Amino acid sequence: MNQAYEVSHLLAGAMLVTSFALLYQERIAAVLNAFAAQSITLALSVAWAAWSDNRPDLFITALIALTLKGIVIPVALHRTVARLGIHREVEKVVGVGVALMVGLALTGLAQALVVKVATGTASHAREELALALAIVLLGFLMMIVRRNAVTQVVGFMSMENGLILAATGARGMPLVVEVSVAFSVLISLFVFAVFVFRIRERFDTVDLEALDRMRGDSR
Amino acid sequence: MTRDLLVQLLAQGAQMSFVLLIAPLAVGVVRRVKARLMRRQGPPLLQAYLDLAKLLRKESVVAESASWLFRSAPYLIFALTWVAAALVPSFASGLMFNWAADVVALVALLGAARALLALAGMDVGTSFGGIGSSREMMIATLAEPAMMLIVLTLAIAAGTTRLAGVADFFIAEPFAVRVSLALSLIALIIVALAENARIPVDNPATHLELTMVHEAMVLEYSGRHLALIEAASHLKLVLYLSLLICLFAPFGMAPATAGLYGWAIGLVAWIAKLLGSAALLGVWEVSIAKMRVFRLPDFVGIAFVFGFLAILLAFLTRGVLA
Amino acid sequence: MSGVALGALAVAAFLAALTRGPALALVYPVSALAAITLGVVDLRVLLTGADVAARLPIGLPGIGLHLRLDSLSAFFGIVINGGVLAASVYGMGFDRAKELTPRVEPLFPLFAAAMNLVVIADDAYAFLFSWELMSLASWALVVARHTDPESRRAAHLYLVMAAIGTAALLFAFGGLAGPAGGYAFDTVRAHPPQPMVAALVLVAALIGCGSKGGLIPLHAWLPLAHPAAPSHVSALMSGVMTKVAIYGFVRIAFDLLGPPVWWWALPPIILGAMTAVLGLLYAVLDRDLKRVLAYSTIENVGVIFVALGLALAFSANGQPEGAAVAMAAALLHVLNHSWFKSLLFLGAGAVLHATGRRDLDGLGGLIHRMPRTAAFFLVGALAISALPPLNGFVSEWLLFQAVIAAPALPQAALHFASPAIGAMLALAAALAAACFVRVYGTAFLGRPRSAEAAGAHEVPLAQQLAMGGLALLCILGGLMGSVLAVALAPVLDQLVGGGLPGTDSGPTLFSLVAFDPARSVYDAPIIALFVAIASLTTLVVVHRLSERRTRRGPAWDCGFPDPSPATQYTASSFAQPLRRVYGAVAFTARETVEMPAPGDTRPARFSVVVVDHLWRAFYAAPGRAVLGLSERLNVLQFLTIRRYLVLMFAALIILLSIAAVMT
Amino acid sequence: MIQAYQLVVLLPYAAALMLVAIPGYRVGAIANVIASAATFAAGFWLVTGEYRVGDYAIVDEFNIVFIGINTLVGFTAALFSASYIGHEIETGRLSPGFVRFYHAMFQAMMGSMNLALVANNIGLMWVGLELATLITVVMVGLYRTPQSIEAAWKYFILASVGISLAFFGTILIYLAGQPALGEGVPAMTWSLLQAAAARMDPGILDLAFIFLLIGYGTKVGLAPLHAWLPDAHAEGPTPVSAVLSGLLLNVALYALLRFKMLVAGQPAALDPGPIMVVMGLVSLIFAAFMLYQRRDIKRLFAYSSIEHMGLIVFAFGMGGPLANFAGLLHMAMHSLTKSGIFFAVGHIAQAKGTQRIAEIKGLTVTHPRLAVAFALAVLAICGMPPFGVFTSEFLILTTTFAREPWLALLPAFGLLVGFGALLMRLQDTLFGEPVGPAHRVDASSVPMVLHLLLVLAAGIFLPPVLVAWFERAAELLG
């Protein structure tokens, strides 16, 4: 039994590494590739959980994670960046070093929070929960330390990956498939809005600050 | 019983008429002493009576813009002052009328007279009436707090605010000259000078527009109205003098129960003391010049300070502080 | 129960009068009728002493709405309904076409009903419900002349201050009711709060009722709001609403808080004395007729709070007869003030109605053109200056007797305070006399200073009737002071357990006795009688002795009479000595005279700068602080989406680290 | 046989599907009103029916009141929007094309909100809330002006982050409940979780409550998370703002309170009281100060919603039966009054053709009846008697002072600062010389008057049955 736990723990650890990779990248293309890697690892982990707990419905989630977030969305975003001629570099609010340090701190916080949990629950569920919490926090961090709209979308999606990981980690939680479907709808709406919004409004810079000049309530 | 009531009534009537008759004499004495000290012949002692008689006979000229208030004010002012004067025990304490009001009511009656006079001053609508009224009211705001402190000291010392009661207390122990009472005596003298518009506060004899206060208000009066106003101011002077005498030099005053004989002695003593204090006032007025209007707050302020000190000392001596 | 039924009828009548259109003119007769009905009910309860109570199922769930008409409420009910009656009779004088608007008339009965409700409320919710309704109705009345920005600003400040007062009262009743929520006054009386909470409750009640009454430093709204309302409404606000504020304080401090502690007396006494003096200094320096009256309301509220403070001090030291004298002074002053202040405001309304001007420097000589209003205003002015035969002096005399008895109190703080308080009250009395001589002198006497003043005409009969009635009350109140004091016996007994010595103890039936006849007596009728006899005899004697001829001629004016009315003393010139003496201290008043260089024909310029420190410290500064802070915070509305996410992230991380650290 | 609670949820969804097929605006509006009326009838039937606890649906004292208010305000909003949107189309501000799916979205939103209220399963409730939020995002962008797109975009991003955090909280609740209730659906049903609260794991429960507080708190509009609310209210059409302010905030707070009940059941867990008190006070005082700088009338009342939500969260943070009762009462009164105010604002915007306060003057002269209704509504929200908000604020402040005298100063300070600003703006709009156009207002004023009457009635007399529900729920809240 613990052999199954070892593999799922390994895959969750791999996803955490990709989250740090997201923070590390300089160019948008690299960010998208790192995100694709994270989604594929998620798909493997969900498939492994489905196989080891013989819960067939999880295979659908794994499939969605693989196809939609692993392949379709990164490719679409690659093409958007190319078509719109959005400049390649990632506009950083905080340097890479600082971002990584904060990431480590968040992971430490996640560990501290989860270690307090009484041993009543199965121990491996606690480790998986700690990793999932760390991934969610790192996804959130990604959204706020990078200025590009694309990196924000990626941050949001990596946060959502953390959620799906936590959901699959929770043994026997119903509705996981339905929720992962709902989330993928949400994300596609997100990307769709970024895609449509950009072309029709012809904004040159993708920097969100530019968006705010059109405020309704002037100072 | 009715005989006793009759006697009381008679005594009260006598007291009121005495006060009225002697007032011009007191003013005459003050003017005569001032003149003699300035090595002048000075007007005859009865000059004030002659002035009043002259004014009564002259016709009264009233300004067009004056209203009924202007013509009726003199009568009211004279009546208020006369009743106030009747309240102050002169030759005997405990007369029939004095339980009707205490010191606070007395001060308020004089306040009413002053307010009516100020209003009458403004009625004609000339600038001098305005000057007189505004300065008179300002001086009043300075004098009233000091007067209140004096009343408070008397209440602490004598335990009552009825003048008759205070007089009886001082008759019983005339020589209890405590420091607090001395201080409140000085305060009362200063307040009296301020209220009667005597020298340091206001010059009764002047008609120099910018300096006069009381005279400015009565500038427009003539004939019988002016006579009444003059009589009222004389009465007010006698009132304050007899108040000083009754509170601080009551020897010779007949107690409430004394018979006719006691009253006679009291009357003689009272007239002597009254004329004596009038003379002293004359001496005082010669020895000091009139102050500028805006130095009055400091002058009357002295009365306030002494009044407050009197109370603190009264607390001390009466051991109330325990 | 008939009382409550009548009360309900009156309230229904009030609300029925809320109709629009031509029925507007119906408002005042209905209000007058309702006021009379309620007045009769109050009088019956006050005299018989039989409380009338009722419990309606509405209001707070589980507690319901308690109403009770006990002798204290009855007394204040009489004050309220007297004022409402006078204002309604005055209101009937408005002519139908021009002067009735849906902005004022429907709110008048609502305002009156709310005030009556406050007085009969017997639980915290009903009290505050009607208290806030009263503020709301009067706010709407103050903002009736909405086109004038001044009255809009006054209305805004007024309702904000009223809200602050209500918040303070909420705290007071919260403290009284305790965590269990026992809001009915009976449960509150059953278990009074512990000392610490009681102190907080007293401070909160002082702020709440003081702000509505106009205690310094919570007064600044009153002189702006009261004049802005129509005159008969400002008469109600000044004469009656401030009394409802005092009722609130009396109900909490004397009835609900249980046995008082001696230092409770200090805040009301100190604040009251300061309010009295400062209120009048404002009044003396102000040039707007209705604002002067509003400031003098502040002064009278200050005097009443001093009396209440003394009553608290005496009853804390177990001297019921002293407390009875102080409380009688307070209650009589409430009654007297509601009469003469309403009279003065109605008079000011009549002047405004006749000349259309409110500034004193534009009036003058109205005594010739409005003889009856001038006479009634004179009675009001002399009454408010506390001059003997009238009613103002009765309560002032009782208050002075209480102050004179104060040195007997054991606590050092109280008995050193008594001379200071005595001096300040005497100063206030003198300033009041100066202020109202100035007002009456500039407005009614002398020669008219403007065309409007010259063209003034007498007001309709109904308005004269209202003013006349109040003037009569002031005179009767002055003469019958002792009768009123005795009528107060049940109220005094309920509040302080003592009573004034009966009328039989004094020399005559009408002599007012403070402690005992040997100590101090004031017999108004005898004094008035003697003054009348004296003036009549002098009249007869002088007419027989002297020339009876009177000649009308130009004013003497020291030989050079000037026809132009500008030479007369105006309101500000009359106040100049007082400004020099007192203004420099309280308002750093500075007068600068700028003389032109010799040979220069330019006229000299005289300017006066009066700085209102209280306004600057307690109103301007906080106002600026709030606006400044809101400007700085406004940045948060214009951040980018990323920065909002940073805020959200920070909130999450803070909470997570708290959770990590805590358990 | 169809149960009331099923009807309340399925009816709007069915109506939504039907409305998608109806192209015309006029017919759509009427259908929308009929559907909302039917939902209101179902809601009324549910409210008067008896409680039942199924495995997916629950009807108890706590959510019965909110279903009632939800369906009522939904109906009045539909009534108002029928005439309001019609006017907007006539004046050309909205082209018929934009409004194509408006009614369908309206009904779908109502259905999702009812789903969230009725759901006994915390996952289902999350789905209901998420759907409602996403639909309102699209409706906020209805006008297709740059400002409304910007507002919708901001609302979308912040709401999505909030939704995902809330979902994470839901997973944690499931994890915390798992040891006590075993795997599968039981560990996500309210009634069972509530019963087993004492046996749940305190550590995970704290973590879960924090995530839920931040996640659902975003939709409640508490201070640091409020950024979407002012712009969404100002740029969306007025009926949407009314529903947003009146209902969506309440449904999110309802969800938050359900979880507070859970945490209250577990004494070992962190006490949520102080956290909620702090967040409530921060929102209350922050929003009060922001009111002074607002130029747009709808943003003004959006910040007033943040202020009142802060006060409500403060009341629940204080805890104790009386404070909880006051909080529930305030929630109900606020939703009725605020939606009433937004209806009035809709009228004013149509009468004056603008939302900028500087350009709205002298309403009492040009539209006296509208001005009086608007004045009464704003005074009601400021906590003036005789309206219901006064009762709840009375209870909140007195109980707070009785327990923590010095703490009571803060909410009072916030309310007074807010009152100063609202009164200043109210007087600016009502009084003075009229400025700008004075068009005829043809949006129906029935909803506004109905809401005012309900709040007035609650201010004077609270029906015992309502009081019993609130008291029962207040005990549950701990």
Asked if A173 and A61 count as a contact pair (C-beta separation under 8 A), the reply is no
Would you tell me the crossing angle of helices D249-265 and D122-140 to the nearest 10 degrees? 160
Q: Quick one: what percent of chain C has pLDDT higher than 90? A: 44
Reply yes or no on whether the pLDDT at C526 is more than 80. Answer: yes
Residue B35 Rama label (left phi>0; alpha psi -120 to 50; beta): alpha
Q: How many domains are there within chain C?
A: 4
Q: What backbone phi and psi angles, to 5 degrees, belong to D264? A: -65, -30
Lowest mean pLDDT among B45-54, C217-226, D128-137, D195-204: D195-204
Q: Which of residues 82-111 of D touch C (CB under 8 A)?
A: none
A 10 A CB-CB count for B131 gives: 25
Give the H/E segment covering residue C53.
Answer: strand C52-56
The answer to whether B69 contacts C378, with C-beta atoms less than 8 Å apart, is: yes
Residues 6+ positions from B256 with CB-CB distance below 8 Å: B92, B93, B94, B95, B164, B168
pLDDT the model gives residue C119: 92
Least CA distance to A152: which residue of chain C?
C642
At C380-431, the pLDDT tens digits run: 999 999 998 899 999 999 999 999 988 888 888 888 888 999 999 999 999 9
The answer to whether A219 contacts C652, with C-beta atoms less than 8 Å apart, is: no
Per CB-CB distance under 8 Å, the chain C contacts of A211 are 640-641
- The minimum CA-CA distance between D435 and chain A, rounded to whole Å, is 21
Pick the last residue of a domain from C188, C218, C250: C188
Per CB-CB distance under 8 Å, the chain C contacts of A215 are 638
Chain C contact probe: residue of D329, D398, D462, D469 with most C CBs at under 10 A: D398
**Residue C640 contacts D where some CB pair is shorter than 8 Å:** no
CA dihedral D138, D140, D142, D147 (to 10 degrees): -120
Q: What backbone phi and psi angles, to 5 degrees, belong to C562? A: -110, 120
Using alpha carbons only, how large is chain B's radius of gyration in Å? 20
Per CB-CB distance under 8 Å, the chain C contacts of D206 are 659, 662-663
Lowest mean pLDDT among B87-96, B211-220, C440-449: B87-96
DSSP string, A108-122: HHHHHHHHTS-TTS-
Mean local confidence (pLDDT), C124-149? 91
Give the H/E segment covering residue D383.
Answer: none
Give the H/E segment covering residue C453.
Answer: helix C451-454
DSSP B1: -
At C321-347, the pLDDT tens digits run: 889 999 999 999 999 999 999 999 999
Q: Of C212, C250, C239, whose CA–CA distance to C294 is shortest?
A: C239
DSSP C616: I
Lowest mean pLDDT among A62-71, B23-32, D340-349: A62-71
Q: How many domains are there within chain B?
A: 1
| Distance (Å, whole) CA B113 – CA B116 | 5
pLDDT the model gives residue C393: 92
Is residue D222 in some structural domain?
Answer: no
Per CB-CB distance under 8 Å, the chain C contacts of A217 are 637
**Residue C287 contacts D where some CB pair is shorter than 8 Å:** no
**Residue D164 contacts C where some CB pair is shorter than 8 Å:** no
**Residue D372 exposed, middle or buried by CB count within 10 Å (0-12, 13-18, 19+):** middle
Would you tell me the crossing angle of helices D297-318 and D409-430 to the nearest 10 degrees? 160
D62 falls in which pLDDT band (50, 70, 90)?
A: confident
The two structure tokens encoding residue C380: 């009001």
The answer to whether C641 contacts D420, with C-beta atoms less than 8 Å apart, is: no
Chain D contact probe: residue of A117, A128, A161, A199 with most D CBs at under 10 A: A117
B267 lies in which domain range? 2-318
Which residue type does D74 have?
G
**Residue C646 contacts A where some CB pair is shorter than 8 Å:** yes
Reply yes or no on whether the pLDDT at A208 is more than 50. Answer: no
When comparing pLDDT for A186 and C268, which is higher? Answer: C268
**Residue C637 contacts A where some CB pair is shorter than 8 Å:** yes
Q: How many domains are there within chain D?
A: 1
**Residue B135 exposed, middle or buried by CB count within 10 Å (0-12, 13-18, 19+):** buried
Q: What backbone phi and psi angles, to 5 degrees, belong to B61? A: -95, 125
A205 falls in which pLDDT band (50, 70, 90)?
A: very low
Is residue D365 in some structural domain?
Answer: yes
Mean local confidence (pLDDT), A175-192? 76
SS3 label, residue A207: coil
Asked if C175 and D402 count as a contact pair (C-beta separation under 8 A), the reply is yes
pLDDT the model gives residue C503: 65
pLDDT the model gives residue A219: 46
**Residue D419 contacts C where some CB pair is shorter than 8 Å:** yes
pLDDT the model gives residue C411: 84
pLDDT the model gives residue C543: 84
| Distance (Å, whole) CA B287 – CA D455 | 82
Q: Quick one: what percent of chain D has pLDDT higher than 90? A: 41
pLDDT the model gives residue B180: 79
When comparing pLDDT for C575 and D56, which is higher? Answer: C575
Most confident by average pLDDT, A181-190, C71-80, D79-88: C71-80
At B24-67, the pLDDT tens digits run: 999 999 999 999 999 988 888 899 999 999 988 888 889 888 88
- The tally of CA atoms less than 13 A away on the side-chain side of residue B137 is 36
D360 lies in which domain range? 271-478
Most confident by average pLDDT, A79-83, C58-62, C567-571: C567-571
pLDDT the model gives residue A123: 65
The answer to whether A147 contacts C649, with C-beta atoms less than 8 Å apart, is: no
Chain A contact probe: residue of C642, C648, C657 with most A CBs at under 10 A: C642
pLDDT the model gives residue A204: 31
A 10 A CB-CB count for C287 gives: 16
Asked if D324 and D316 count as a contact pair (C-beta separation under 8 A), the reply is yes
Is residue D394 in some structural domain?
Answer: yes
Length of chain A: 219
The two structure tokens encoding residue C369: 């053109």
At B265-301, the pLDDT tens digits run: 888 888 999 999 999 999 999 998 888 888 888 899 8
| Distance (Å, whole) CA C225 – CA C140 | 11
The whole-chain average pLDDT of chain B stands at 86
Reply yes or no on whether the pLDDT at B321 is more than 70. Answer: no
Per CB-CB distance under 8 Å, the chain A contacts of C646 are 144
pLDDT the model gives residue B322: 40
Q: Of B258, B209, B268, whose CA–CA distance to B95 is shortest?
A: B258
Q: Which of A113, A144, A208 sits opposite C656 (nearest CB)?
A: A113
Own/partner contacts of B209-213, CB < 8 Å, gap of 24 or more, are B209/B128, B209/B131, B209/C558, B210/B131, B211/B290, B211/B293, B212/B132, B213/B131, B213/B132, B213/B135, B213/B136, B213/B139, B213/B293
Per CB-CB distance under 8 Å, the chain C contacts of B155 are 404
| Distance (Å, whole) CA C619 – CA C614 | 8
DSSP B213: S
At D248-271, the pLDDT tens digits run: 999 999 999 999 988 888 888 888
Reply yes or no on whether the pLDDT at A196 is more than 70. Answer: no
pLDDT the model gives residue A33: 92
**Residue C652 contacts A where some CB pair is shorter than 8 Å:** yes
Residues 6+ positions from D169 with CB-CB distance below 8 Å: D208, D209, D210, D211, D212, D215, D216, D259
Lowest mean pLDDT among B172-176, D329-333, D429-433: B172-176
Is residue D96 in some structural domain?
Answer: no
Distances (CA, A) of C637 to B215, D294, D300, D304: 71, 10, 12, 14
Q: Which residue's structure tokens are 């934009």?
A: D98
Asked if C163 and D421 count as a contact pair (C-beta separation under 8 A), the reply is no
pLDDT the model gives residue A210: 47
Mean local confidence (pLDDT), C82-102? 83
Residues 6+ positions from C182 with CB-CB distance below 8 Å: C188, C190, C191
A 10 A CB-CB count for A209 gives: 13
Termini Cα distance of chain C: 61
**Residue D297 contacts A where some CB pair is shorter than 8 Å:** no
Residues 6+ positions from C623 with CB-CB distance below 8 Å: none
Is residue C225 in some structural domain?
Answer: no
Reply yes or no on whether the pLDDT at B251 is more than 90. Answer: no
DSSP C620: I
At C578-596, the pLDDT tens digits run: 888 888 777 888 888 888 8
Asked if D16 and D25 count as a contact pair (C-beta separation under 8 A), the reply is no
Reply yes or no on whether the pLDDT at C20 is more than 70. Answer: no
Which residue type does A31 have?
V
Residues 6+ positions from C554 with CB-CB distance below 8 Å: B63, B64, C561
pLDDT the model gives residue C22: 62
Give the H/E segment covering residue D58.
Answer: strand D58-59
Q: Which pTM value belongs to this model?
A: 0.91
pLDDT the model gives residue C506: 66
- In this complex, which chains have at least 3 CB pairs below 8 Å with chain D? A, C
At D111-145, the pLDDT tens digits run: 999 999 998 888 889 989 989 998 998 888 888 78
Residues 6+ positions from D414 with CB-CB distance below 8 Å: D281, D284, D285, D287, D288, D307, D310, D311
Whether residues C499 and C619 share a domain: the answer is no
Least CA distance to C654: which residue of chain A?
A109
Q: Please give the ipTM for the structure prediction.
A: 0.88
Q: Which residue's structure tokens are 């803060």?
A: D410
| Chain centroid, CA C501 distance in Å | 29
| Chain centroid, CA D306 distance in Å | 10
Least CA distance to D133: which residue of chain A?
A186
Whether residues C531 and C655 share a domain: the answer is no
Is residue D79 in some structural domain?
Answer: no
Is residue C215 in some structural domain?
Answer: no
At C589-618, the pLDDT tens digits run: 888 888 888 888 888 888 888 888 888 889
Reply yes or no on whether the pLDDT at D426 is more than 50. Answer: yes
- The minimum CA-CA distance between A113 and chain C, rounded to whole Å, is 5
| Distance (Å, whole) CA C541 – CA C555 | 27
| Distance (Å, whole) CA D437 – CA D294 | 22
Q: Which of D130, D160, D179 sits opposite A121 (nearest CB)?
A: D179
The whole-chain average pLDDT of chain D stands at 88
| Distance (Å, whole) CA C463 – CA B121 | 29
Whether residues C524 and C499 share a domain: the answer is yes
| Distance (Å, whole) CA B120 – CA B78 | 13
C420 lies in which domain range? 259-539
Distances (CA, A) of B316 to B159, B184, C139, C416, D340: 16, 15, 53, 12, 71
Q: Among positive and negative, which fits the CA dihedral C634, C638, C643, C648?
A: positive
The answer to whether D174 contacts A170, with C-beta atoms less than 8 Å apart, is: yes
Whether residues C520 and C648 share a domain: the answer is no
The two structure tokens encoding residue D245: 């302010």
Is residue D73 in some structural domain?
Answer: no
Q: What backbone phi and psi angles, to 5 degrees, belong to C66? A: -95, 135
Is residue D105 in some structural domain?
Answer: no
pLDDT the model gives residue B102: 85
At D305-322, the pLDDT tens digits run: 999 999 999 999 998 888
Q: Among positive and negative, which fits the CA dihedral C279, C285, C291, C293?
A: positive
Q: What backbone phi and psi angles, to 5 degrees, belong to B52? A: -60, -45
DSSP C619: I
At D153-175, the pLDDT tens digits run: 888 888 989 989 999 999 888 88
pLDDT the model gives residue A203: 33
Pick the last residue of a domain from C539, C563, C589: C539
